[in-house]
Structure 1
Amino acid sequence: MRRGHRPSQPVSGKPRFWGRHAVASALANPERTIRRIWVTREAAAAFGGFPDHIPTSFAEVTDLARLVPGDAPHQGIVIEVDPLDDIWLADLLERGESNQRPLIVLDQVTDPHNVGAVLRSAAAFDALGIVTQDRHAPPEGGALAKAASGALEFVPWVRVVNLARALDEIGEAGFWRIGLTGAGKRTFNDAIGTARVAVVLGAEGEGMRQNTEAHCDELARLPISPRVESLNISNAAAIALYALATRG
C-alpha cells in the first residue's frame, strides 16, 4: 500500500463509490472491477486489508473529501470502479419464470438517491430486479451506490432503450403490469391478485408518461391520506413490494 499519496481528481471518468457498505459490497462482488482505493488508516484497519492487485493508497480525511461531492459521507474510503456489465431484459425475465418475484419498472426517475433507495427496497423484498430507460435514469455513481447500501451489486438493473417495448415484453412474460398513480380506480392491494406483478412508477411530480400508462394492464393507487398528495417514489416502491410479499 502506498503511503503519503495525495489523491487527485480523476481523468478517467469512471464512477467513484464511497461509504463502507457500498465499498464492502463492491469488493465482495466478483463481477465488479475496482481500479483504485483511497482509504484512511483507520478505515483500512476496519476492512482488514484489500486485494493486492488493486492500487491502494493511504489518504487523509481532508484529501478524501476532495474526491467526493460536497459533504458526501465517505466514511474514510473512496474507490474508483468500472460500471457493471449490461443485463438483457430477456435474460432477467427468464430468471423469473419459475417464481413470483416482482419486478420494478421506473419511468424517467432520474434522482440517484431515489433509484438507490428503490434498489435497496428491491433487495429487502427479494424483487427480481429493476428496469429503467437508459437515457432517463442516473448512471452508476457514488450517491446512488450509497443510497442502495450495497444493493447495486446484486439486484439486477436492466436499462432499455424503449420503455414501452420493454413493458410489452414484460407483459408477454406473464407479468401483470400495475402502474401506481393517485388516479387509479382500485387500491394496489385489490389489484395485485395472484399473478406475477411488475410495479410501474413514474417520476415524482410528473408521474408516469401517458404512453407508459397505456402499456400497463391496470392503474392502481396506494390508500394514503388525502392530506398528502403523493409519496416519495422510493417509499411507494417499498410499500408496494411489502404488499406483494405479504399477500395471501
Structure 2
Amino acid sequence: MIIYGINVVDELLRSEYIKDVNEIIFDKESKNKRLDELLEKAKGVGVKIRTLDKRSIENISKTTHHQGVICDIRLKYFDLEYLVDNGFNVLLCDSIQDPNNLGAMIRSAVLFNFYGIVIPKDRNTEITSSVIKVSSGAIFHTYPCRVVNLNRTIEILKESNYTIIGLDANATIEITQAKHGDKVGIVIGSEGEGLRKLTKEKCDHLVKIPTTNKIDSLNASSAATIAMYQVFINLRKK
C-alpha cells in the first residue's frame, strides 16, 4: 500500500509499524524544513529511502497531495484474539462505508484509548490510503482487525468480559447512564441505517446521545467520538 503525507509518515516512524515499511520516497527537489527533518528521522530508524522528482512521486502515489513524501508499507490486520489478550477497548464498525468517517473515528479512538478497530469484511470500507490520511497517521497507534461475522465477534468479546455498547438514536437511555466494566466495545452503525437488528440484540446496552433534535442525527464519526470520550471519562474515575 502507498501512503502519503508528512504527518502520516511521521506517525508511522514513531510506531511499531516501522518494521512493515518497504521503502520511503522523498521529493529530492523539496525545500520544506519539515520534510528535511522527516528524512533525517527516517535515516535514523534505518528504513530504505529513495529520492525522486515530484512528478515521479505523483505517478506512484496517484495524488498531488503527497507533501513530498510517500511510503510503501505492508499494512496488516490483527487477530481478534490479539485485541482480547491485550484488553484493548474496541470500536466495532457496522456498515461504515465512508473512508472519511472511518479515518476520523480512528483518530478519535487513539485519543480515548480505543486501540482495537474491528472492521467486518462485508458492508464496510477497508483500511485505505485515504482512511490513513484522514486519520493523520493515528491508525499506526491502533490494531485494526478484519472479521467475517460482526455478531459472532460481539459474542466473543462478551465471553471475554467486555461490555458492548451500541449507539442507537431511538434508545431509551443516554450514553451517560450506561454501566460498563473495565473493557468496553462500542458499536457504531451507518448514518442512514444505524445498527442492524441482530447487532442491536447482541449489545449489552443500546444508548443514545442527547441532542437538541434540531437536525436528524450526528454523523457516525462524531457520535463515535462522543461515546468513546464518555467511556474514557468513566474509566478515569474508577
Instruction: Identify the residue that residue 125 of structure 1 maps to in structure 2.
Output: 112
Bigger mean CA offset, 219-228 vs 109-118: 109-118
- Aligned partners of 1:224, 1:183: CA distance in 2, in Å? 12
Alignment-mate amino acid for residue 88 of structure 1: D
Structure 1 gaps of 5+ residues are 1-14
Taking a change above 3 Å as real, the CA distance of residues 104 and 30 of structure 1, as seen in their structure-2 partners, is closer
Q: Contact 2:91 / 2:118 at 8 angstroms: preserved in 1?
A: yes
Residue 90 (str. 1) matches residue 81 (str. 2): yes
Larger proportion of helix = 2
Residue 143 (str. 1) matches residue 143 (str. 2): no
**Aligned pairs, number:** 227
Structure 2 gaps of 5+ residues are none
- Aligned partners of 1:187, 1:206: CA distance in 2, in Å? 19
- Aligned partners of 1:193, 1:88: CA distance in 2, in Å? 24
Shift in Å, 1:200: 0.7
- Aligned partners of 1:69, 1:182: CA distance in 2, in Å? 39
Q: Contact 2:115 / 2:141 at 8 angstroms: preserved in 1?
A: no
Shift in Å, 1:105: 0.9
C-alpha offsets along residues 185-220 of structure 1, whole Å, 9 cap, x if unaligned?
100111134553211111121211112112112211
TM (normalized to structure 1)? 0.82
Residue 208 (str. 1) matches residue 198 (str. 2): no
Q: Contact 2:163 / 2:180 at 8 angstroms: preserved in 1?
A: no
Q: Contact 1:103 / 1:128 at 8 angstroms: preserved in 2?
A: yes
- Aligned partners of 1:22, 1:137: CA distance in 2, in Å? 22
Taking a change above 3 Å as real, the CA distance of residues 111 and 69 of structure 1, as seen in their structure-2 partners, is farther
How much identity, in percent, do the aligned residues show? 26
Taking a change above 3 Å as real, the CA distance of residues 128 and 23 of structure 1, as seen in their structure-2 partners, is closer
The match for 2:150 among 138, 153, 163 is 163
Residue 56 (str. 1) matches residue 50 (str. 2): yes
